[in-house]
Structure 1
Amino acid sequence: MFRRTVRILAALTMAAAATLVTTVTTAAPAQADGCYTWGRTLSEGMSGEDVRQLQIRVAGYPGYNSVLALDGVFGPATRAAVVRFQQAYGLGADGIAGQQTFSRIYALQDNDCTPVNFTYAELNNCNSDWSGGAVPAATARFNALVNMWKLQAMRHALGDQRIRVTSAFRSHACNNAVGGSPSSRHLYGDAVDLGVSPHSLCRLAQQARNHGWREILGPGYPGHSDHTHVAHDPIRTWSASSCGVS
Protein backbone atom coordinates (compact mmCIF):
# COMPACT_ATOMS: atom_id res chain seq x y z
CA MET A 1 0.00 0.00 0.00
CA PHE A 2 2.83 2.40 0.87
CA ARG A 3 4.53 1.69 -2.47
CA ARG A 4 1.35 2.37 -4.40
CA THR A 5 0.67 5.59 -2.47
CA VAL A 6 4.17 6.86 -3.22
CA ARG A 7 3.77 6.05 -6.90
CA ILE A 8 0.38 7.75 -7.11
CA LEU A 9 1.78 10.89 -5.45
CA ALA A 10 4.73 10.83 -7.81
CA ALA A 11 2.47 10.52 -10.85
CA LEU A 12 0.26 13.39 -9.71
CA THR A 13 3.30 15.56 -9.05
CA MET A 14 4.62 14.77 -12.52
CA ALA A 15 1.30 15.74 -14.10
CA ALA A 16 1.20 19.02 -12.15
CA ALA A 17 4.75 19.84 -13.17
CA ALA A 18 3.87 19.26 -16.81
CA THR A 19 1.38 22.13 -16.72
CA LEU A 20 4.19 24.57 -15.89
CA VAL A 21 6.24 23.74 -18.97
CA THR A 22 5.90 26.36 -21.69
CA THR A 23 8.26 24.87 -24.28
CA VAL A 24 7.67 21.78 -26.40
CA THR A 25 10.15 18.95 -25.91
CA THR A 26 10.56 15.51 -27.44
CA ALA A 27 11.85 13.86 -24.27
CA ALA A 28 10.05 10.74 -23.09
CA PRO A 29 8.02 11.02 -19.88
CA ALA A 30 9.76 9.85 -16.74
CA GLN A 31 9.30 6.14 -16.13
CA ALA A 32 6.83 5.71 -13.30
CA ASP A 33 7.50 2.05 -12.57
CA GLY A 34 9.14 -1.07 -13.94
CA CYS A 35 6.36 -1.95 -16.36
CA TYR A 36 6.12 0.29 -19.43
CA THR A 37 6.89 3.89 -20.34
CA TRP A 38 5.33 5.73 -23.27
CA GLY A 39 7.73 7.96 -25.19
CA ARG A 40 5.33 9.88 -27.40
CA THR A 41 1.84 11.32 -27.43
CA LEU A 42 -0.58 8.96 -29.15
CA SER A 43 -3.54 9.96 -31.29
CA GLU A 44 -5.81 8.62 -34.00
CA GLY A 45 -3.98 7.39 -37.08
CA MET A 46 -0.87 6.19 -35.24
CA SER A 47 0.22 2.58 -34.76
CA GLY A 48 2.82 0.54 -32.94
CA GLU A 49 3.50 -1.45 -29.80
CA ASP A 50 2.97 1.65 -27.67
CA VAL A 51 -0.56 1.90 -29.05
CA ARG A 52 -1.20 -1.76 -28.21
CA GLN A 53 0.07 -1.21 -24.66
CA LEU A 54 -2.36 1.70 -24.35
CA GLN A 55 -5.21 -0.43 -25.72
CA ILE A 56 -4.60 -3.08 -23.07
CA ARG A 57 -5.03 -0.48 -20.33
CA VAL A 58 -8.18 1.12 -21.78
CA ALA A 59 -9.71 -2.22 -22.83
CA GLY A 60 -12.32 -1.78 -20.11
CA TYR A 61 -13.72 1.36 -21.76
CA PRO A 62 -15.03 0.14 -25.15
CA GLY A 63 -18.63 1.23 -24.58
CA TYR A 64 -21.80 -0.81 -24.19
CA ASN A 65 -21.75 -4.18 -25.99
CA SER A 66 -18.34 -3.48 -27.57
CA VAL A 67 -14.88 -5.03 -27.41
CA LEU A 68 -11.72 -3.06 -28.12
CA ALA A 69 -9.29 -4.74 -30.52
CA LEU A 70 -5.73 -4.94 -29.21
CA ASP A 71 -4.18 -4.55 -32.65
CA GLY A 72 -1.78 -1.66 -32.16
CA VAL A 73 -3.78 0.61 -34.48
CA PHE A 74 -5.16 3.84 -33.02
CA GLY A 75 -8.51 3.99 -34.79
CA PRO A 76 -11.87 5.54 -33.86
CA ALA A 77 -12.69 2.78 -31.35
CA THR A 78 -9.40 3.32 -29.50
CA ARG A 79 -9.97 7.08 -29.49
CA ALA A 80 -13.46 6.55 -28.02
CA ALA A 81 -12.03 4.24 -25.33
CA VAL A 82 -9.38 6.82 -24.43
CA VAL A 83 -12.10 9.49 -24.16
CA ARG A 84 -14.10 7.29 -21.78
CA PHE A 85 -11.00 6.58 -19.71
CA GLN A 86 -10.21 10.29 -19.52
CA GLN A 87 -13.79 11.12 -18.54
CA ALA A 88 -13.76 8.43 -15.86
CA TYR A 89 -10.74 10.03 -14.20
CA GLY A 90 -11.62 13.69 -14.71
CA LEU A 91 -9.01 14.38 -17.38
CA GLY A 92 -9.38 16.53 -20.46
CA ALA A 93 -11.36 14.19 -22.71
CA ASP A 94 -9.85 14.84 -26.13
CA GLY A 95 -9.07 11.24 -27.08
CA ILE A 96 -5.35 11.99 -27.28
CA ALA A 97 -3.11 10.01 -24.95
CA GLY A 98 -0.49 12.39 -23.61
CA GLN A 99 1.30 13.06 -20.34
CA GLN A 100 -1.81 13.39 -18.15
CA THR A 101 -3.33 10.18 -19.49
CA PHE A 102 -0.08 8.25 -19.09
CA SER A 103 0.46 9.62 -15.59
CA ARG A 104 -2.95 8.31 -14.58
CA ILE A 105 -2.13 4.90 -16.05
CA TYR A 106 1.23 4.83 -14.23
CA ALA A 107 -0.63 5.52 -10.99
CA LEU A 108 -2.98 2.62 -11.72
CA GLN A 109 -0.42 -0.10 -12.45
CA ASP A 110 2.15 -2.14 -10.59
CA ASN A 111 5.62 -3.09 -11.77
CA ASP A 112 4.33 -6.28 -13.42
CA CYS A 113 1.79 -4.31 -15.50
CA THR A 114 -1.22 -5.49 -13.49
CA PRO A 115 -3.65 -2.85 -12.25
CA VAL A 116 -3.19 -1.95 -8.60
CA ASN A 117 -6.34 -3.69 -7.36
CA PHE A 118 -5.79 -7.09 -8.98
CA THR A 119 -2.93 -9.58 -9.14
CA TYR A 120 -1.84 -12.56 -11.22
CA ALA A 121 -2.10 -14.72 -8.10
CA GLU A 122 -5.71 -13.67 -7.64
CA LEU A 123 -6.55 -14.85 -11.15
CA ASN A 124 -4.65 -18.12 -10.86
CA ASN A 125 -5.12 -20.43 -7.90
CA CYS A 126 -4.48 -23.49 -10.06
CA ASN A 127 -1.09 -23.76 -11.83
CA SER A 128 1.22 -20.92 -10.88
CA ASP A 129 3.10 -21.25 -14.18
CA TRP A 130 -0.16 -20.90 -16.20
CA SER A 131 0.41 -24.23 -17.95
CA GLY A 132 -1.99 -27.07 -18.67
CA GLY A 133 -4.82 -25.06 -20.18
CA ALA A 134 -6.17 -24.80 -23.72
CA VAL A 135 -3.53 -22.26 -24.81
CA PRO A 136 0.19 -21.72 -24.15
CA ALA A 137 1.00 -20.44 -20.68
CA ALA A 138 2.08 -17.01 -21.98
CA THR A 139 -1.25 -16.59 -23.79
CA ALA A 140 -3.28 -17.55 -20.72
CA ARG A 141 -1.29 -15.10 -18.61
CA PHE A 142 -1.78 -12.30 -21.14
CA ASN A 143 -5.52 -12.98 -21.35
CA ALA A 144 -5.69 -12.72 -17.57
CA LEU A 145 -3.87 -9.38 -17.70
CA VAL A 146 -6.42 -7.96 -20.12
CA ASN A 147 -9.22 -9.23 -17.89
CA MET A 148 -7.64 -7.47 -14.90
CA TRP A 149 -7.65 -4.13 -16.70
CA LYS A 150 -11.31 -4.64 -17.59
CA LEU A 151 -12.06 -5.49 -13.97
CA GLN A 152 -10.19 -2.37 -12.89
CA ALA A 153 -12.40 -0.25 -15.15
CA MET A 154 -15.53 -1.91 -13.78
CA ARG A 155 -14.30 -1.49 -10.21
CA HIS A 156 -13.83 2.23 -10.79
CA ALA A 157 -17.30 2.53 -12.36
CA LEU A 158 -18.73 0.85 -9.26
CA GLY A 159 -17.29 3.44 -6.91
CA ASP A 160 -13.83 1.90 -6.43
CA GLN A 161 -15.25 -0.79 -4.20
CA ARG A 162 -13.85 -4.28 -4.07
CA ILE A 163 -14.71 -6.87 -6.71
CA ARG A 164 -14.23 -10.41 -5.40
CA VAL A 165 -12.72 -12.98 -7.78
CA THR A 166 -13.71 -16.57 -6.97
CA SER A 167 -12.24 -18.39 -9.97
CA ALA A 168 -10.25 -17.54 -13.08
CA PHE A 169 -7.57 -19.52 -14.97
CA ARG A 170 -7.84 -23.30 -14.78
CA SER A 171 -5.69 -26.05 -16.20
CA HIS A 172 -7.56 -29.04 -17.64
CA ALA A 173 -6.91 -30.89 -14.38
CA CYS A 174 -8.30 -28.06 -12.25
CA ASN A 175 -11.27 -27.61 -14.56
CA ASN A 176 -12.11 -31.31 -14.40
CA ALA A 177 -11.81 -31.28 -10.61
CA VAL A 178 -14.50 -28.60 -10.28
CA GLY A 179 -16.75 -30.09 -12.95
CA GLY A 180 -16.14 -27.31 -15.47
CA SER A 181 -17.23 -27.50 -19.08
CA PRO A 182 -14.66 -29.08 -21.43
CA SER A 183 -14.91 -25.89 -23.52
CA SER A 184 -14.74 -23.51 -20.56
CA ARG A 185 -13.10 -20.15 -21.23
CA HIS A 186 -11.34 -20.59 -17.88
CA LEU A 187 -8.99 -22.91 -19.79
CA TYR A 188 -7.92 -19.91 -21.88
CA GLY A 189 -7.28 -17.62 -18.94
CA ASP A 190 -9.85 -15.15 -20.24
CA ALA A 191 -12.73 -15.98 -17.88
CA VAL A 192 -13.35 -14.73 -14.35
CA ASP A 193 -16.03 -15.71 -11.86
CA LEU A 194 -17.13 -12.97 -9.48
CA GLY A 195 -18.74 -13.44 -6.08
CA VAL A 196 -20.92 -11.20 -3.98
CA SER A 197 -18.88 -8.45 -2.31
CA PRO A 198 -20.19 -4.93 -1.82
CA HIS A 199 -22.08 -5.58 -5.06
CA SER A 200 -24.81 -8.08 -5.83
CA LEU A 201 -24.28 -10.63 -8.57
CA CYS A 202 -26.89 -8.86 -10.66
CA ARG A 203 -25.16 -5.50 -10.27
CA LEU A 204 -21.94 -7.08 -11.49
CA ALA A 205 -23.67 -8.71 -14.47
CA GLN A 206 -25.38 -5.47 -15.42
CA GLN A 207 -22.25 -3.33 -15.17
CA ALA A 208 -20.11 -5.86 -17.05
CA ARG A 209 -21.98 -5.05 -20.26
CA ASN A 210 -20.01 -1.79 -20.49
CA HIS A 211 -16.53 -3.23 -20.07
CA GLY A 212 -15.73 -5.41 -23.04
CA TRP A 213 -16.84 -8.97 -22.26
CA ARG A 214 -18.61 -11.07 -24.88
CA GLU A 215 -19.73 -13.68 -22.36
CA ILE A 216 -21.68 -12.68 -19.25
CA LEU A 217 -23.51 -15.39 -17.30
CA GLY A 218 -25.20 -14.84 -13.97
CA PRO A 219 -28.26 -15.56 -11.83
CA GLY A 220 -30.97 -17.12 -13.92
CA TYR A 221 -28.49 -19.03 -16.06
CA PRO A 222 -28.10 -22.71 -15.04
CA GLY A 223 -25.31 -23.24 -12.53
CA HIS A 224 -24.69 -19.53 -11.95
CA SER A 225 -26.82 -18.73 -8.93
CA ASP A 226 -23.74 -18.11 -6.77
CA HIS A 227 -21.49 -16.14 -9.13
CA THR A 228 -21.35 -13.90 -12.17
CA HIS A 229 -19.12 -15.13 -14.97
CA VAL A 230 -17.40 -12.82 -17.49
CA ALA A 231 -15.25 -14.01 -20.39
CA HIS A 232 -14.05 -13.41 -23.94
CA ASP A 233 -15.97 -16.07 -25.80
CA PRO A 234 -15.84 -15.42 -29.59
CA ILE A 235 -19.65 -15.63 -29.70
CA ARG A 236 -21.58 -13.04 -27.69
CA THR A 237 -23.57 -14.74 -24.92
CA TRP A 238 -25.25 -12.64 -22.24
CA SER A 239 -27.57 -14.58 -20.00
CA ALA A 240 -28.56 -13.57 -16.51
CA SER A 241 -32.32 -13.59 -16.75
CA SER A 242 -32.86 -12.89 -13.04
CA CYS A 243 -30.93 -9.66 -13.56
CA GLY A 244 -32.51 -8.50 -16.80
CA VAL A 245 -29.31 -9.22 -18.73
CA SER A 246 -29.73 -10.86 -22.12
Structure 2
Amino acid sequence: MLRRTVRLILSIVMIAAAGVVGTIATAGTAQADSCYTFNRTLSEGMSGADVTQLQIRVAGHVTSGEILAVDGNFGPRTKAAVAKFQSAYGLASDGVAGPNTFSKIYSLQDADCTPIHFTYAELNKCNSTWSGGAVSAATAKENAKRTMWKLEAMRHALGDVSINISSGFRSTSCNSAVGGASNSQHLYGTAADLVGSPSFCRLAQQARTHGFGGILGPGYPGHNDHTHVDGRSSRYWSAPSCGI
Protein backbone atom coordinates (compact mmCIF):
# COMPACT_ATOMS: atom_id res chain seq x y z
CA MET A 1 0.00 0.00 0.00
CA LEU A 2 2.82 2.42 0.87
CA ARG A 3 4.53 1.81 -2.48
CA ARG A 4 1.26 2.43 -4.36
CA THR A 5 0.65 5.65 -2.39
CA VAL A 6 4.16 6.90 -3.16
CA ARG A 7 3.69 6.10 -6.86
CA LEU A 8 0.37 7.99 -6.87
CA ILE A 9 2.00 11.05 -5.28
CA LEU A 10 4.86 10.92 -7.80
CA SER A 11 2.38 10.69 -10.67
CA ILE A 12 0.48 13.75 -9.41
CA VAL A 13 3.76 15.68 -9.05
CA MET A 14 4.87 14.76 -12.58
CA ILE A 15 1.52 15.76 -14.07
CA ALA A 16 1.60 19.07 -12.22
CA ALA A 17 5.18 19.74 -13.34
CA ALA A 18 4.23 19.01 -16.93
CA GLY A 19 1.47 21.59 -16.69
CA VAL A 20 3.88 24.25 -15.38
CA VAL A 21 6.34 23.90 -18.21
CA GLY A 22 3.64 23.43 -20.84
CA THR A 23 4.65 19.91 -21.78
CA ILE A 24 2.22 18.22 -24.13
CA ALA A 25 2.39 14.45 -24.62
CA THR A 26 2.89 13.44 -28.21
CA ALA A 27 1.38 10.40 -29.93
CA GLY A 28 4.52 8.43 -29.19
CA THR A 29 5.04 9.12 -25.51
CA ALA A 30 3.35 8.71 -22.14
CA GLN A 31 4.08 10.23 -18.74
CA ALA A 32 7.50 9.48 -17.24
CA ASP A 33 7.86 6.49 -14.96
CA SER A 34 10.31 5.87 -12.12
CA CYS A 35 11.17 2.40 -13.41
CA TYR A 36 11.38 2.74 -17.19
CA THR A 37 9.92 5.29 -19.58
CA PHE A 38 8.89 4.41 -23.14
CA ASN A 39 9.61 7.36 -25.41
CA ARG A 40 8.05 6.29 -28.68
CA THR A 41 5.08 4.32 -29.99
CA LEU A 42 6.15 0.75 -30.74
CA SER A 43 4.73 -1.36 -33.53
CA GLU A 44 5.54 -4.33 -35.73
CA GLY A 45 8.81 -4.02 -37.63
CA MET A 46 10.58 -1.92 -35.01
CA SER A 47 13.52 -2.99 -32.85
CA GLY A 48 15.56 -1.76 -29.93
CA ALA A 49 16.03 -1.87 -26.18
CA ASP A 50 12.56 -0.42 -25.64
CA VAL A 51 11.05 -3.32 -27.57
CA THR A 52 12.91 -5.68 -25.24
CA GLN A 53 11.43 -3.90 -22.23
CA LEU A 54 7.96 -4.15 -23.75
CA GLN A 55 8.40 -7.85 -24.48
CA ILE A 56 9.36 -8.55 -20.86
CA ARG A 57 6.09 -6.98 -19.72
CA VAL A 58 3.79 -8.71 -22.21
CA ALA A 59 5.48 -12.13 -22.34
CA GLY A 60 2.77 -13.57 -20.10
CA HIS A 61 0.04 -12.68 -22.58
CA VAL A 62 0.44 -15.42 -25.17
CA THR A 63 -1.41 -18.43 -26.55
CA SER A 64 -1.23 -21.90 -25.03
CA GLY A 65 2.27 -23.34 -25.24
CA GLU A 66 3.81 -20.22 -26.74
CA ILE A 67 7.04 -18.75 -25.37
CA LEU A 68 7.57 -15.18 -26.53
CA ALA A 69 11.13 -14.42 -27.59
CA VAL A 70 12.55 -11.44 -25.71
CA ASP A 71 14.92 -10.37 -28.48
CA GLY A 72 14.23 -6.69 -29.10
CA ASN A 73 12.50 -7.35 -32.42
CA PHE A 74 8.82 -6.42 -32.71
CA GLY A 75 7.47 -9.24 -34.85
CA PRO A 76 4.00 -10.77 -35.32
CA ARG A 77 4.13 -12.70 -32.03
CA THR A 78 5.02 -9.56 -30.08
CA LYS A 79 2.15 -7.74 -31.78
CA ALA A 80 -0.21 -10.55 -30.75
CA ALA A 81 1.07 -10.46 -27.17
CA VAL A 82 0.61 -6.68 -27.00
CA ALA A 83 -2.93 -7.09 -28.32
CA LYS A 84 -3.69 -9.72 -25.66
CA PHE A 85 -2.25 -7.46 -22.97
CA GLN A 86 -4.42 -4.60 -24.21
CA SER A 87 -7.53 -6.77 -24.29
CA ALA A 88 -6.84 -8.11 -20.80
CA TYR A 89 -6.87 -4.57 -19.41
CA GLY A 90 -9.76 -3.15 -21.43
CA LEU A 91 -7.71 -1.21 -23.99
CA ALA A 92 -8.17 -1.08 -27.74
CA SER A 93 -6.37 -4.24 -28.86
CA ASP A 94 -4.57 -3.14 -32.02
CA GLY A 95 -1.17 -4.58 -31.08
CA VAL A 96 0.45 -1.14 -31.22
CA ALA A 97 2.01 0.04 -27.95
CA GLY A 98 1.33 3.71 -27.43
CA PRO A 99 0.56 6.06 -24.52
CA ASN A 100 -2.48 4.15 -23.22
CA THR A 101 -0.60 0.85 -23.25
CA PHE A 102 2.43 2.40 -21.57
CA SER A 103 0.29 4.07 -18.93
CA LYS A 104 -1.24 0.70 -18.05
CA ILE A 105 2.24 -0.84 -17.86
CA TYR A 106 3.39 1.99 -15.57
CA SER A 107 0.43 1.34 -13.27
CA LEU A 108 1.48 -2.31 -13.01
CA GLN A 109 5.12 -1.80 -12.07
CA ASP A 110 7.04 -0.57 -9.08
CA ALA A 111 10.16 1.59 -9.13
CA ASP A 112 12.44 -1.47 -9.22
CA CYS A 113 10.65 -2.68 -12.39
CA THR A 114 8.96 -5.62 -10.68
CA PRO A 115 5.19 -5.94 -11.15
CA ILE A 116 3.16 -4.48 -8.29
CA HIS A 117 1.93 -7.80 -6.90
CA PHE A 118 5.34 -9.52 -6.67
CA THR A 119 8.72 -8.67 -5.16
CA TYR A 120 12.30 -9.81 -5.50
CA ALA A 121 12.11 -11.06 -1.91
CA GLU A 122 9.35 -13.48 -2.87
CA LEU A 123 11.47 -14.88 -5.69
CA ASN A 124 14.59 -15.24 -3.56
CA LYS A 125 14.29 -16.86 -0.15
CA CYS A 126 17.79 -18.30 -0.43
CA ASN A 127 20.16 -15.32 -0.11
CA SER A 128 20.02 -11.59 -0.69
CA THR A 129 22.90 -11.48 -3.14
CA TRP A 130 21.44 -13.72 -5.86
CA SER A 131 24.82 -15.42 -6.08
CA GLY A 132 25.88 -19.05 -6.07
CA GLY A 133 23.52 -20.31 -8.76
CA ALA A 134 24.15 -21.52 -12.30
CA VAL A 135 24.36 -17.96 -13.70
CA SER A 136 25.63 -14.60 -12.53
CA ALA A 137 23.73 -12.82 -9.77
CA ALA A 138 22.61 -10.12 -12.23
CA THR A 139 21.27 -12.70 -14.68
CA ALA A 140 19.45 -14.64 -11.97
CA LYS A 141 17.79 -11.47 -10.73
CA GLU A 142 16.80 -10.42 -14.25
CA ASN A 143 15.35 -13.88 -14.90
CA ALA A 144 13.32 -13.62 -11.71
CA LYS A 145 11.91 -10.27 -12.84
CA ARG A 146 10.81 -11.80 -16.13
CA THR A 147 9.17 -14.68 -14.26
CA MET A 148 7.27 -12.19 -12.10
CA TRP A 149 5.83 -10.43 -15.14
CA LYS A 150 4.47 -13.73 -16.43
CA LEU A 151 3.00 -14.41 -13.00
CA GLU A 152 1.41 -10.95 -13.02
CA ALA A 153 -0.37 -11.83 -16.26
CA MET A 154 -1.44 -15.17 -14.82
CA ARG A 155 -2.67 -13.55 -11.61
CA HIS A 156 -4.82 -11.12 -13.59
CA ALA A 157 -6.25 -13.91 -15.77
CA LEU A 158 -7.24 -15.80 -12.62
CA GLY A 159 -9.31 -12.86 -11.47
CA ASP A 160 -6.61 -10.89 -9.66
CA VAL A 161 -6.27 -13.51 -6.96
CA SER A 162 -3.12 -13.76 -4.88
CA ILE A 163 -0.48 -16.22 -6.02
CA ASN A 164 1.85 -17.42 -3.28
CA ILE A 165 5.44 -18.44 -3.98
CA SER A 166 7.21 -20.96 -1.76
CA SER A 167 10.52 -21.06 -3.66
CA GLY A 168 12.22 -19.10 -6.42
CA PHE A 169 15.93 -18.59 -7.05
CA ARG A 170 18.22 -21.05 -5.29
CA SER A 171 21.99 -21.14 -4.98
CA THR A 172 23.62 -24.52 -5.41
CA SER A 173 23.74 -25.00 -1.65
CA CYS A 174 20.10 -23.99 -1.17
CA ASN A 175 19.05 -26.27 -3.98
CA SER A 176 20.93 -29.22 -2.52
CA ALA A 177 19.42 -28.58 0.92
CA VAL A 178 15.89 -29.02 -0.43
CA GLY A 179 16.76 -31.97 -2.66
CA GLY A 180 16.42 -30.07 -5.91
CA ALA A 181 17.57 -31.55 -9.22
CA SER A 182 21.16 -30.76 -10.16
CA ASN A 183 19.95 -28.98 -13.30
CA SER A 184 17.01 -27.26 -11.62
CA GLN A 185 15.66 -24.11 -13.25
CA HIS A 186 15.68 -22.59 -9.75
CA LEU A 187 19.47 -22.28 -10.13
CA TYR A 188 18.90 -19.86 -13.02
CA GLY A 189 16.28 -17.70 -11.32
CA THR A 190 13.71 -18.68 -13.94
CA ALA A 191 11.50 -20.83 -11.68
CA ALA A 192 8.81 -20.35 -9.06
CA ASP A 193 6.99 -22.92 -6.94
CA LEU A 194 3.37 -21.90 -6.36
CA VAL A 195 1.29 -22.87 -3.35
CA GLY A 196 -1.96 -21.89 -1.65
CA SER A 197 -5.11 -20.91 -3.49
CA PRO A 198 -6.11 -21.39 -6.35
CA SER A 199 -5.63 -25.16 -6.41
CA PHE A 200 -2.38 -26.63 -7.69
CA CYS A 201 -4.18 -28.01 -10.75
CA ARG A 202 -5.82 -24.67 -11.49
CA LEU A 203 -2.43 -22.99 -11.33
CA ALA A 204 -0.85 -25.61 -13.61
CA GLN A 205 -3.66 -25.38 -16.14
CA GLN A 206 -3.63 -21.59 -16.22
CA ALA A 207 0.16 -21.43 -16.57
CA ARG A 208 -0.12 -22.97 -20.04
CA THR A 209 -1.22 -19.64 -21.53
CA HIS A 210 1.33 -17.40 -19.85
CA GLY A 211 4.63 -18.22 -21.52
CA PHE A 212 6.03 -20.84 -19.16
CA GLY A 213 8.16 -23.50 -20.84
CA GLY A 214 8.21 -25.69 -17.74
CA ILE A 215 5.10 -26.67 -15.78
CA LEU A 216 5.25 -29.45 -13.19
CA GLY A 217 2.40 -30.23 -10.85
CA PRO A 218 0.32 -32.89 -9.09
CA GLY A 219 1.08 -36.36 -10.36
CA TYR A 220 4.66 -35.50 -11.25
CA PRO A 221 7.13 -36.95 -8.71
CA GLY A 222 7.70 -34.58 -5.81
CA HIS A 223 5.11 -32.03 -6.96
CA ASN A 224 1.89 -33.01 -5.24
CA ASP A 225 2.23 -30.14 -2.76
CA HIS A 226 2.91 -27.32 -5.23
CA THR A 227 2.93 -26.29 -8.88
CA HIS A 228 6.28 -25.46 -10.45
CA VAL A 229 6.59 -23.03 -13.37
CA ASP A 230 9.74 -21.92 -15.15
CA GLY A 231 11.03 -20.07 -18.17
CA ARG A 232 13.00 -22.78 -19.96
CA SER A 233 13.16 -22.25 -23.71
CA SER A 234 11.59 -25.58 -24.68
CA ARG A 235 8.30 -26.95 -23.41
CA TYR A 236 8.19 -29.59 -20.69
CA TRP A 237 4.82 -29.93 -18.99
CA SER A 238 3.80 -32.72 -16.63
CA ALA A 239 0.98 -32.62 -14.13
CA PRO A 240 -0.79 -35.94 -14.80
CA SER A 241 -3.33 -35.49 -12.01
CA CYS A 242 -4.42 -32.25 -13.70
CA GLY A 243 -4.67 -33.66 -17.22
CA ILE A 244 -1.41 -32.07 -18.32
Question: TM over 0.5: same fold?
Answer: yes
Q: How far apart, in 2, do the equivalents of 1:205 and 1:69 lie?
A: 22
**In the alignment, residue 148 of structure 1 is paired with which amino acid?**
M
Which residue does the alignment assign to 1:50? 50
Q: How far apart, in 2, do the equivalents of 1:25 and 1:106 lie?
A: 17
**In the alignment, residue 26 of structure 2 is paired with which amino acid?**
T
Which residue does the alignment assign to 1:31? 32
1:208 has 2:207 as partner: yes
Which residue does the alignment assign to 2:220? 221
Calculate the TM-score normalised by the size of structure 2: 0.91
**Aligned sequence identity (%):** 63
Deviations 1:127-159 (A, max 9, x none): 211100001111100110000000000000000
In the comparison of the two structures, how many residue pairs are matched? 235
1:196 has 2:172 as partner: no
Deviations 1:41-76 (A, max 9, x none): 000000000000000000101211001111000000
Deviations 1:3-53 (A, max 9, x none): 415646949x97xxxxxxxx98377432132x1000000000000000000
Q: How far apart, in 2, do the equivalents of 1:133 and 1:113 lie?
A: 22
- Map 1:154-165 → 2, pairs under 5 A: 154-165=154-165
Which residue does the alignment assign to 2:18? none
Distance 1:158 1:191, change over 3 A: same
**In the alignment, residue 79 of structure 2 is paired with which amino acid?**
R
Gaps (5+ residues) in structure 1?
A: 15-22
Q: How far apart, in 2, do the equivalents of 1:29 and 1:234 lie?
A: 33
Calculate the TM-score normalised by the size of structure 1: 0.90
2:25–2:31 contact (8 Å) kept in structure 1: no
**In the alignment, residue 55 of structure 2 is paired with which amino acid?**
Q
SS, match of residue 215 in structure 2: strand
| TM-fit CA distance, 1:237 | 1.0
SS, match of residue 213 in structure 1: coil
SS, match of residue 91 in structure 2: coil
- Map 1:102-117 → 2, pairs under 5 A: 102-117=102-117
Q: CA RMSD in A?
A: 2.0
SS, match of residue 230 in structure 1: strand
- Map 1:45-194 → 2, pairs under 5 A: 45-194=45-194
Which residue does the alignment assign to 2:242? 243
